[in-house]
Structure 1
Amino acid sequence: MHADVERFSFDQRKHFLRVIQQQGRVTLPADGNEQVAILLHHLQALAEDLIGPYGTPSPDGTAPGPAFKIDLPQAGEEDGVLRIGRGRYWVHGRACENDAENLLLTAQPDLPTTGAPNDGTYLAYLDVWERHISAAEDDTVREVALGGPDTCSRTRLVWQVRLTDSAPPGRQVDATDVAAHWSDWEAFLQPADRGLLAARANRGTGPLEPCVADPTAGYLGPENQLYRVQIHRGSDDIGDPTFTWSRDNGSVVHPLLRLAGTSAVLRDPPRDKRTALAVGSLVEVVDDHSTLLGRPGPLARVTDIDDEGEDYVVHLSTDAGIIEADRRPMLRRWDHPDVDGGGEVPQRADDDALRVATPNETGWLTLEDGIQIRFQSPSQSGVRYRTGDYWTFPARTATGDITWPQDTTGPADVPPHGIDHVYAPLAVVVITGGKATTVNDLRVGFSSVRVP
């Protein structure tokens, strides 16, 4: 998530039970965030242990209730393809709630541009993941009495009913086969090997300024930062995988009133120099559609800023098209410089992001101030980098180092810190003549725990 935080301290492997505030000590936002993460982990684990990987309450103790039942559309609604039943469906401890009666497949609130599929047999399944929501995405989380500044952000559980006619190797889109081998489908939808990353602070052999940083430091930056490395173009897209990076967790965003071509009109002028854009700044144009569909937004450099008129206009180097305000477009700032790269410096790709693959023998890439990262080679068999996957790590001036797991050889190669998706099968659907004709239910019901 792109929250403006100092670090993410929750680590499931430590099995912490709670956070205890001590008298006379400084309390950090990370402490409160970790307490919530601990509690959420235990609640989701408990729900999954009781319910299983997926299920919905059963009114009679046998058959599932109406929640997320996939059904044929009513007369006159055939363009909606399918109906989704109202109610709550649990997926790996997460409560997916559909508040709409007879929601059409093409009208899902969190899955834009869903069109009618071609004729064939499809698996309808739930794709569930957590989305970060700040005042840039939803202005109602802002306390207007403060006169503009935002406070805490939120996360939202996104559920999407998707259709696929592709199957894992050795499997087929058949109700019996899907139910019997769902673990194969989960591994197919979210591969276990989404690429690995190692990170370190390494001063190298560059010039040293002792008045700026400790001579023994690896990290030479003047401020504490939370670095974020994020996959921009995934392995399944056209072209080689690419990435972007930020020293502020990608949290610096500027909501737009409108976007037309290379002109972006900011909703609010920047509040301070730290978050203000400047000529040469790198931004990604994102909106609800690109975020919910897991697609990268176009990257552009700021070529000019016009702040003398009624509107605060940022001019971009790339034509980003037209995005209406109801899609909540915004500019997200990234921090890699405008250089072609080479050697240990990441190489610029054709999408203006940076290439994951590196020609140097060690594989280490230098971002800035001694910060180095190393990706698992995208050419290795089975490695599939995915757009939006990310890693974060704090860099601290007090230690001249970063916080990163270590193994016997040095910095450990770790999988992405997010975004993690969980899945559940709902039905096998047959589309004929552009209309759904057959639905085989795959949902599971469970009996509620009741006290006699």
Structure 2
Amino acid sequence: MSSDYSRLIFDRKKHYSAVRMQQGRVLLDSDWNAQSDINQDRLHKQTIDVIGRTGVPVHSNGFQLFLHTDSELSLSQGRMYVNGLLCELDQNVNFGFNNEGILIASNEVDLPYGLIRTNMTSGRYLLYLEAWQREVTFLDDPHIREKALGDPDTTTRLQTTWQLKAASIDAGIQCEDIQIPSNNIGTKATGTMEARTVSSETNTDPCSFNQTSGFRRLENQLYRIEIQKGGNLSQSTFKWSRENASVVSQVMEITGSHVVKVNSLGRDEVLGFSIGDWVEFKNHKTSLGRTVNKLVQIEDINRNTLEISVNEAIDALDIQGLKMIRWEQAGESIPLNSNFIQIEDGIEVNFSGGIYVAGDYWLIPARTIDSSIEWPMGERKLPNGVDVSLAKIGIIEVEDGEIQSISDCRKLFPPLTELPKSDGGCCTYHVSAKAGWERIFDKIKEGEHAKICFDIGIYNLESTIIIKNKGHLLITGSGPGTIIQASKLQVAFRFDGCASLDISHMSFQTNQVKNQNKDDVVSRKGALTVVNTPKLSINKIQVSCGHGIKPQASCITYYNAQQNPGSIHVANCNLNVGFYQHGIVVVNSKRSVVENNVISVRPKPKKYSLLDRIKNDNRTRNAFLDILMSNISETHNSNTNETINYGNFNLSFRTNSDIRNANVWQPLITNNPPPNTITNTKDLQKYLKKTVLNLVLVKDSSVPSLNRFVASLSEEDPSLGFQALVIGGEVSTDVHVFRNRIEGFLQGIHIGLSHQHSSGKEFDIINSVKIEKNFVGNILPLIHNYSRHGIFVGNCERLLIDSNELDLNRTTRANKVHIDAIKIWGFLGRKGTITNNYIFSSSRPENSYNTGIKVKDLEYKEKVIHWNITWNSILAKTKLQLIGTFFDKYSDTNI
């Protein structure tokens, strides 16, 4: 939108640094605006010189792409600098592939969000940011006006605006290969315009200020020449306004197909709307999409109702932010021409060959005092237009409408005080995100100690890096902006046989779960996998790992042989776990410390929907069939609730109550009669399971109640992690799990040694386990493949479980599915304390855990075990279930 200026006089070529006010002089809008433009120009140049053309502050980490669903993206909140402009996003925003061809504004903020491309079924796409500044008046933001002074029209604002767009790219192209602007991204106008004044002998108006030459109007004007239709010289047209297109009214209502009601008809007859004027309608979509609407002509004005009729239908326009702008030309628009075209009263313009963009414009200040225009004689100028700046955000791969991978193209930078030392500093090797970076590990000799420092950047990885038999390694990045991008891999780094490993301040992003190699001792490989390394320290890293139908992967895996157990310390990490996968897997670690981490679950892709898992995974299929048919018997008993008859056969079983109430089974047999080959109840049982499975998978409509039941199960099929933390194997002496936040898992914390010795009488036992001040959020759907609990500890000599919160989110159909909050099981020692824990369900308090605390000692002992289970707050169907010989009164201090 344009405003009522006298002129805009800033000129970069003059290199002015300030505007000085003199005493007793007139203060002009052009001087005020010149100072503002000087400041902005300096700020933009300085930002580019310090940061570069584009950059994201590493601690802000704004505008990062990540998956929201299989066909939706999210953009992270934060900041990004684009060619000196500060782009900000105040909250994470989700994007779908809209079909309107422009970006849609969010309900939460006023900036345009969305994806520009309408069809992303398959292929690779560059997502990039367009940033520019747009002018905002009181018609866009009423808060600009001061009510105390009667709402005068005073100043306007410049707002930094951005949009996320997409462009198709070829296979194999990476972020560093793409240059913008390019032929298809960010093309700008090349056509120029010249303006001049000429004499006229035809003007006989006695009110004209000068009847012979130059500009001849009585008022000073600021002419705006704006491209209406873009293209080459022969294709383009323009429109013009002597008031810089500042004669504008807000549309309050569209009262008819050709009629609008406005807030004002203008200040007066000169600065208002009249019959015969050509007007343009602009709203938020045209403004943010930088598009131009067709001009229409005013046919009638009702000054009593402030209604204006135009010559074409406008009722399809979006009323949000709708405004009407007056233009002065005699027709709808004027074709461009290389010959001079008369505007009015002595002003002429012509255009060169080249490309013109709709919305680009030129300003011509015209002054009556000397009949001149402020335009150097004979000079041609490119249009002002909207100065759009561009920045790469990321590359996505799409297959059949689902996003397969995301590569980050942003450039992150740390604060000046956190810049790495030059020339490598104390680093043995310094790594930057250039092609071949992964070969840095080949430089480290066998047994050599080394510190490897990674700069900010995206480190794309096509195959797993295997680092074997090195010495003590310290690997550090520059924070979350050091990203190991391995979207086609399950394992990014694998360390094997190193003396020790300390890794920190990095991000790892993997997105695949592969079939396990039976010859590999590591069965649950992580994005970061460390094998047979005596000491492992992990601090301040972010890891995102892939999805799978069954547990096969993790974010972090630490494995040692039983003969040489190691030690692990994981702290201050953020792990984003794929569907049905693990957060941290530890096998054979004498000392394990896991503290102050956040372990959560990623949204699962569409291909892991319930129906797809029933079709492709035996374990899920059997779990689903067990809901329909379990406790099968030839006669009705207390464990069955359904009986069906076929010929001489009766079959009793337990089925889901909704299925039973809907009377599904007998009509199913009637509509799908079994073949004559069935000779016993076992054959009948197999036939029924096969039949109902086929009906479900093809969504057969003959049993609608069955389809409704399956649809409701699909609606309650959350994105679910398997185990957030599992510590097991054959050896463990000391485990401490402290101040972690775990959300969205079937099993939260699982600690226990399971190996049984050849004698059959001896079991591996952990010496000491401490689990303190953690939050564990369990999710429990009806269909599940594995056991479930909040905290599990098995085979432990000394135990402390203190001040933890366990919160259950049970889906509505999983009311009867059993889950324990705290479960202690196996061969237990003489000392245990379970105290000050809070066990509850914030989502469904009436359906919390089945058992709050369950302890079972499998070994009989003549002497009592000194265990203290007190001061717990338990919301569960059964608060305590204790099997064994224990000491203390358990119920008095647990509520």
1:284 aligns with 2:287: no
Q: Is the 8 A contact 1:194 1:386 kept in 2?
A: no
1:146 paired with 2:122, answer: no
- Contact 1:282/1:336 (8 A) holds in 2: yes
Counterpart in the other structure of 2:334:
354
Give the Cα separation in 1 of the matches to 2:211 and 2:237.
33
Aligned 1:13-412 pairs, distance under 5 A: 13-59=13-59, 66-74=61-69, 78=71, 81-104=72-95, 108-109=105-106, 110-111=111-112, 114=115, 117-119=119-121, 120-165=123-168, 172=170, 175-176=173-174, 178-183=175-180, 185-186=181-182, 188-207=184-203, 212-215=208-211, 217-235=213-231, 240-259=235-254, 260-308=256-304, 311-325=305-319, 327-338=320-331, 352-356=332-336, 358=337, 363-377=339-353, 383-406=354-377, 410=378, 412=379
3-state SS of the aligned residue for 2:227? strand
* Aligned CA distance change for structure 1 residues 94 and 298 (closer, same or farther; 3 Å): same
Aligned in 2, Cα 1:302/1:210: closer, same or farther, shift over 3 Å? closer
SS in 2 for 1:38: helix
More strand by share: 2
1:414 aligns with one of 368, 381, 392: 381
CA distance in 2, matches of 1:5, 1:318: 31
Kept in 2, the 8 Å contact 1:254–1:332? The answer is yes
Q: For residue 181 of structure 1, report the CA deviation from its aligned partner.
A: 4.4
Secondary structure at the aligned position of 1:323 is classed as coil
How far apart, CA to CA, are the structure 1 residues paired with 2:366 and 2:265? Answer: 29
SS at match of 1:387: coil
CA distance in 1, matches of 2:261, 2:372: 39
What is the one-letter code of the residue matched to 1:312? L
AA matched with 2:344: E
3-state SS of the aligned residue for 2:25? Answer: coil
Deviation digits for residues 247-287 of structure 1 (CA, Å, limit 9, x no counterpart): 00011111011224210111245343232211111100111
Shift of 1:321: 2.8
Change (3 A) 1:46 1:35: same
1:431 aligns with 398
Offset of 1:186 from its aligned partner?
A: 4.5
Partners of 1:435 and 1:108 in 2: CA distance: 24
Aligned mates of 1:215, 1:16 — CA distance in 2? 38
Cα distance 1:199–1:39, how it changes in 2: closer, same or farther (>3 A)?
Answer: same
After superposition, the C-alpha distances for 1:385-437 in whole angstroms (9 at most, x for unaligned) are 1111111010000110100134xxx2x11101121100000111122222322
RMSD (CA atoms):
2.4
| Aligned-pair identity (%) | 28
- Number of residue pairs aligned between Structure 1 and Structure 2: 406
Check conservation: 2:283, 2:318, Cα contact below 8 A.
no
Cα deviation 1:152-190 (Å, max 9, x = unaligned): 01111111011111x6xxxx47553x424424x356433
**Deviation of 1:82 (Å):** 1.3
Which of the pair has more CA radius of gyration? 2
Describe the SS at the equivalent of 1:388.
Answer: coil
The answer on whether the counterparts of 1:86 and 1:103 sit within 8 Å (CA) in structure 2 is no
In 2: Cα distance, 1:52 partner to 1:156 partner? 22
Question: How far, CA to CA, are the matches of 1:387 and 1:175 in structure 2?
Answer: 31
Q: Distance in 1 between matches of 2:193 and 2:80?
A: 34
Alpha-carbon distance in 2 for matches of 1:426, 1:164: 12
Q: Distance in 2 between matches of 1:11 and 1:129?
A: 19
CA pair 281-174 structure 1, distance change in 2 beyond 3 A: farther
TM-score by length of 2: 0.43
| Unaligned 5+ runs, structure 2 | 99-103, 420-895
| Cα distance, 1:440–1:175 mapped onto 2, change above 3 Å | farther
Shift of 1:144: 2.2
Task: Summarize deviations over 1:3-31 as a string: whole Å, max 9, x none.
Answer: 11100010111101100011122120110
**1:174, 1:428 within 8 Å by CA — same for their partners in 2?**
no
- Report deviation, 1:85: 1.1
**TM-score by structure 1 length?**
0.84
Q: Distance in 2 between matches of 1:139 and 1:58?
A: 36
Query: CA contact under 8 A between 2:145 and 2:152: conserved in structure 1?
Result: yes
SS at structure 1 position matched to 2:363: strand
Aligned to 2:841: none
Q: 1:52-98: per-residue Cα shift (whole Å, max 9, x none)?
A: 00011124xxxxx53101112247xx4xx311111000001110001
Aligned CA distance change for structure 1 residues 313 and 173 (closer, same or farther; 3 Å): farther
